């Protein structure tokens, strides 16, 4: 395959992966908000609580990545209450 076609294919995969990841993150925060509102998830929660509720395995990276004051500059969706304990940012 010519280099241009390879680069275009790699670029398309990056866009697709980013789109899938963005959708998963939006869906995850929506489900967390709904669960807290419905009382299925306590106001303060751990990554393990979220993993169990949503049947995922990556809340341990998602919550700190999106906590207020995160070093990567990601959207702040959560506040870290204490080590390993989070709540929704209001």
**DSSP symbols for 55-84:** T-S-HHHHHHHTBTT-TT-----EEEEETT
State the pTM of this model.
0.78
pLDDT averaged over every residue in the chain:
87
- Residue pair 86/46 in contact (Cβ under 8 Å)? The answer is yes
Name the residue with tokens 């009382």. 39
Q: What is the mean pLDDT of residues 63-79?
A: 96
Closest CA to 31 of 64, 56, 48: 56
The domain locations on the chain are 3-88
Instruction: For residues 16-30, give the mean pLDDT.
Output: 80
Q: How far is CA 78 from the centre of its chain?
A: 10
């Amino acid at each position: 395959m010519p280099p241009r076609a390879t680069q275009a294919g790699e670029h398309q995969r990056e866009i697709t992966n980013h789109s899938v990841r963005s959708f998963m993150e939006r869906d995850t925060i929506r489900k967390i908000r709904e669960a807290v509102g419905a009382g299925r998830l306590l106001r303060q929660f751990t990554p393990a609580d979220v993993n169990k509720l949503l049947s995922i395995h990556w809340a341990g990276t998602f919550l700190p990545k999106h906590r207020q004051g995160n070093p990567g500059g990601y959207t702040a969706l959560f506040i870290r209450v204490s080590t390993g304990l989070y709540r929704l940012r209001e």
